Amino acid sequence: MIEVENLTKYYGDFLAIENISFKVNKGEVVGLLGPNGSGKTTTMRILTGFMPPSSGTARVAGHDIVDQGLEARRMIGYMPESVPLYTDMTVSDYLAFMGALRGMDKKRIARRIDAVIDLCRLGDYRHDFIGKLSKGYRQRVGIAQCVLHEPAVLILDEPTIGIDPIQVVETRQLIKNLRGEQTVLVSTHILPEVSMICQRVVIIHEGQVVAEDTPENLSERLQGNERLEIEIRGPAADVMSAIRGLKGVTDVRRDGGGDRAQYTIYSRRGADLREQLAALVVSRGWGLLKLNPMSMTLEEIFLRLTSEEEKA
Amino acid sequence: MRNTLTIAWKETKTYFSSPTAYVVGAVFLALEGYFFVQAVSVPFAEASVRGFISPATFILVLLAPVLTMRLLAEEQKMGTLELLLTSPVKDWEVILGKYLASLVIFVGTLSFTLYYVLLLFWFGDPDIGPMLSGYLGLILYGGAALAVGLLASSLTPNQIVSAVLGFGVLLLLTVTDQAAQVVSGLGAVILEKVSITAHFTDFARGIVDTGNVVYYVTVVFLLLFLTTRYVESRRWR
Ligand SMILES: Nc1ncnc2c1ncn2[C@@H]1O[C@H](COP(=O)(O)OP(=O)(O)OP(=O)(O)O)[C@@H](O)[C@H]1O
Ligand SMILES: [Mg+2]
């Protein structure tokens, strides 16, 4: 449904994305995962015809996004990252306007407005000005306009940013429910979100695709490392060497000096060091001031993924 | 065309939900009222629309860019242009739709001055010819001024900057008329040809010269074309 081939985009001299290629099959929900500035929005803006690529091609439902831009855009429902809306229109006026722009007739517009207002739970705000709505409700209006014309392809740029946890869950459920009927490309930088809603993930980092897989396979690969943060009162050199001696430890780093310092301990997957560490500290008569298991930040994961690919 | 009308209709409604259209309309009519009264209150006043048609061009230099300043600047500032340009709509349909909306508001406001015309008929015996040509000229002139304003609005996300830009360009196109009288030869001809006011004087005198009509229509098309091109070029950056 979406075919992306070697997309490259320069902003002036700045290379934002480079040779991005991937495919989204009909009825699939695919996540575009990447840290800030990795080129998710750029890719989506090219797919939706907001701007052309510097080189490469993309097709949506078989239509080239540059040569057959109008046909391609007709197939797409798009929610931009910032959820731009006309704040001086009411929700229903706005939806009617967007429907008309997409070539829907009056009857269908009226029917679909009822449906999407139901779907996005906007009933109480139907005749309110969009400018009056809270961020979360604007987000719903954004989704409503996006599915209004029942497009074959949905492109959602970080649809769960800036809304409260309950609505995040609702929004994810909503996207999940679209699976099978519509083809969805959704961008995010939240790792767990991907496994919740997507069948496949395309990971981009610094404008390049670094991995493409199912969420299950990816988390296998990513959970190779665990990390602990610990603060110990005791002679630093001794502490370092003692921790290094523990089974499963791959690396230790120290922050601060003297007899009270923070250590970051990296260990192999599955090696839970907490009990061992506590025992160690007690047996040496040191003081344990803090023990904090840390999950890897997204940046680290991408760094690992990129270095992994380089090694391969 | 349907898309153009959809956009024109939406923009027209938006004009009514903000104070801009009301303020512009009120100021325009107040000034026109002043010029009308001034024209008819002299002894042996002539029953003609000239007294308030000619000054209207000057008022429009100031007001047309205010009417158009929001149209594209705000879309850029709010990011809504992204939704508009990713809809299955051609760029020129967007531009034309917005232009038409501003034209509707302008002609609508202008129609209120027909009240003065009624007064002229009531108290005098005005000549219909110059009246019709005067109004035609004013609509053409206003149309060109709005097109200038729309282009200015596409150039910046800031409404004020857009208004000042439009105002500056219109003022320049106006003063070339005076500049033409200072210089001589080919320079004078060219300056007079591009002047937006020089082409208006005949209309006010009751003369509909095809050349003048063609001038205004060409200016409008050229400016709308440039605006479309500029908006298109934003995609390439
Ligand atoms: N209009 C622009 N002009 C110049 N550079 C831009 C422009 N838009 C984006 N960039 C740059 O291109 C790179 C990719 O940006 P993009 O917005 O696609 O990232 P993203 O993955 O969507 O990030 P985020 O998660 O923060 O939304 C960034 O380094 C950004 O600074
Ligand atoms: Mg983004």
CATH of the domain at A98: 3.40.50.300
For the segment B12-40, the average pLDDT, to the nearest whole number, is 88
Query: Does this complex have an ipTM over 0.90?
Result: no
* Judgement on whether residues A216 and A286 belong to the same structural domain of the protein: no
Q: Do B235 and A82 touch (CB under 8 A)?
A: no
* Judgement on whether residues A86 and A174 belong to the same structural domain of the protein: yes
* Judgement on whether residues A29 and A156 belong to the same structural domain of the protein: yes
Host domain of residue A247: 224-294
Chain B positions touching A63 (Cβ under 8 A) are none
Give me the sign of the Cα torsion angle A39, A44, A47, A52.
Answer: negative
In whole angstroms, give the CA distance from residue B197 to residue B214: 14
Q: Do A145 and B83 touch (CB under 8 A)?
A: yes
pLDDT tens per residue, range B89-107: 999 999 999 999 999 999 9
For chains A and B, CB pairs below 8 A equal: 67
Does A85 map to a domain?
Answer: yes
pLDDT of residue B123 exceeding 70, the answer is yes
Task: Supply the pLDDT for residue B124.
Answer: 78
Percent of chain A at pLDDT above 90? 42
**If 0-12 CB within 10 Å is exposed, 13-18 middle and 19+ buried, where does residue B186 land?**
exposed
Q: How confident is the model at residue A307 (pLDDT cuts 50, 70, 90)?
A: low
Does A231 map to a domain?
Answer: yes
For the segment A286-300, the average pLDDT, to the nearest whole number, is 73
Chain A positions touching B6 (Cβ under 8 A) are 97, 100-101
A251 vs A148 pLDDT, higher one: A148
Q: Do A50 and B85 touch (CB under 8 A)?
A: yes
Does A302 map to a domain?
Answer: no
Does A84 map to a domain?
Answer: yes
* Judgement on whether residues A105 and A45 belong to the same structural domain of the protein: yes
Q: How confident is the model at residue A40 (pLDDT cuts 50, 70, 90)?
A: very high
CB A255 within 8 A of CB A242: no
Q: How confident is the model at residue B129 (pLDDT cuts 50, 70, 90)?
A: confident
Task: Supply the pLDDT for residue B149.
Answer: 96
pLDDT of residue A311 exceeding 50, the answer is no
Host domain of residue B156: 2-236
Chain B positions touching A85 (Cβ under 8 A) are 78, 80
Does A133 map to a domain?
Answer: yes
- Please state, as a whole number, how many other Cβ atoms lie within 10 Å of the Cβ of residue B221: 11
Among chain B residues, the shortest Cα distance to A11 is held by B237
Q: Do A50 and B82 touch (CB under 8 A)?
A: yes
Task: Supply the pLDDT for residue A59.
Answer: 94
Q: How confident is the model at residue A312 (pLDDT cuts 50, 70, 90)?
A: very low
Which residue among A74, A76, A85 places its CB closest to the CB of B80?
A85
Q: Which of B82, B89, B159 is the mutation pick for testing A, counting most A CBs within 10 A?
A: B82
Alpha carbons within 13 A on the beta-carbon side of B44: 0
Alpha carbons within 13 A on the beta-carbon side of B89: 30
In whole angstroms, give the CA distance from residue A88 to residue B201: 40
Comparing A80-84, A208-212, B26-30, B186-190, the range with the smallest average pLDDT is B186-190
Chain B positions touching A48 (Cβ under 8 A) are 86
Residues with CB under 6 A from ligand 1: A 11, 14, 16, 34, 36-42, 81, 189
CA of A308 to the centre of ligand 2 (A): 25
Does A305 map to a domain?
Answer: no
Task: Name which of B195, B191, B201 is nearest B215 in CA terms.
Answer: B195
Q: Do A45 and B85 touch (CB under 8 A)?
A: no
Task: Supply the pLDDT for residue A304.
Answer: 64
In whole angstroms, give the CA distance from residue A99 to residue A192: 34
User: Which residue's alpha carbon is nearest to atom 31 within ligand 1?
Assistant: A37
Q: What's the whole-number average pLDDT of chain B?
A: 88
B194 vs B217 pLDDT, higher one: B217
User: Which residue's alpha carbon is nearest to atom 28 within ligand 1?
Assistant: A37
Residue B98 φ then ψ, to 5°: -65, -40
Q: How confident is the model at residue A248 (pLDDT cuts 50, 70, 90)?
A: confident
Task: Supply the pLDDT for residue B36.
Answer: 83
* Judgement on whether residues A77 and A201 belong to the same structural domain of the protein: yes
* Judgement on whether residues A131 and A152 belong to the same structural domain of the protein: yes
pLDDT of residue B237 exceeding 60, the answer is no
Q: Which long-range contacts link B22-26 to residues 24+ away (Cβ below 8 Å)?
A: B24/B63, B24/B66, B24/B67, B24/B105, B24/B109, B25/B105, B25/B108, B25/B109, B25/B112
For the segment A38-43, the average pLDDT, to the nearest whole number, is 93
CB A143 within 8 A of CB A79: yes
Taking each helix axis from N to C end, the angle separating B210-235 and B128-155, rounded to the nearest 10 degrees, works out to 20
Q: How confident is the model at residue A310 (pLDDT cuts 50, 70, 90)?
A: very low
* Judgement on whether residues A131 and A257 belong to the same structural domain of the protein: no
CA of A207 to the centre of ligand 1 (A): 9
Chain A positions touching B235 (Cβ under 8 A) are 50-52
CB B107 within 8 A of CB B100: no
Does A311 map to a domain?
Answer: no
* Judgement on whether residues A196 and A280 belong to the same structural domain of the protein: no
Give how many domains chain A has, as a whole number. 2
Give how many domains chain B has, as a whole number. 1
Atom of ligand 1 nearest to the CA of A158: 27
Q: What's the whole-number average pLDDT of chain A?
A: 86
For the segment B20-42, the average pLDDT, to the nearest whole number, is 86
Q: Which bin fits A155, alpha (ψ -120 to 50), beta or left (φ > 0)? A: beta
Among chain A residues, the shortest Cα distance to B4 is held by A101
Domain finish residue from A220, A249, A266? A220
Q: Do B78 and A84 touch (CB under 8 A)?
A: yes
Does A49 map to a domain?
Answer: yes
Q: Which of B87, B89, B232 is the mutation pick for testing A, counting most A CBs within 10 A?
A: B87
* Judgement on whether residues A154 and A41 belong to the same structural domain of the protein: yes
Distance set, CA A163 to CA A131, A139, A257 (Å): 16, 8, 42
* Judgement on whether residues A114 and A187 belong to the same structural domain of the protein: yes
Q: Do A102 and B88 touch (CB under 8 A)?
A: yes
Task: Supply the pLDDT for residue B151.
Answer: 96
Residue A187 φ then ψ, to 5°: -100, 150
CATH code (residue A233): 3.30.70.1340
* Judgement on whether residues A140 and A237 belong to the same structural domain of the protein: no
* Judgement on whether residues A161 and A13 belong to the same structural domain of the protein: yes
pLDDT of residue A164 exceeding 70, the answer is yes
Query: pTM to 2 decimals?
Result: 0.83
Task: Name which of B26, B64, B35 is nearest B141 in CA terms.
Answer: B64
For the segment A107-114, the average pLDDT, to the nearest whole number, is 94
Task: Supply the pLDDT for residue B107.
Answer: 95
CB B155 within 8 A of CB B162: yes
Q: Which helix (H) or strand (E) holds B98?
A: helix B91-111
Task: Supply the pLDDT for residue B217.
Answer: 94
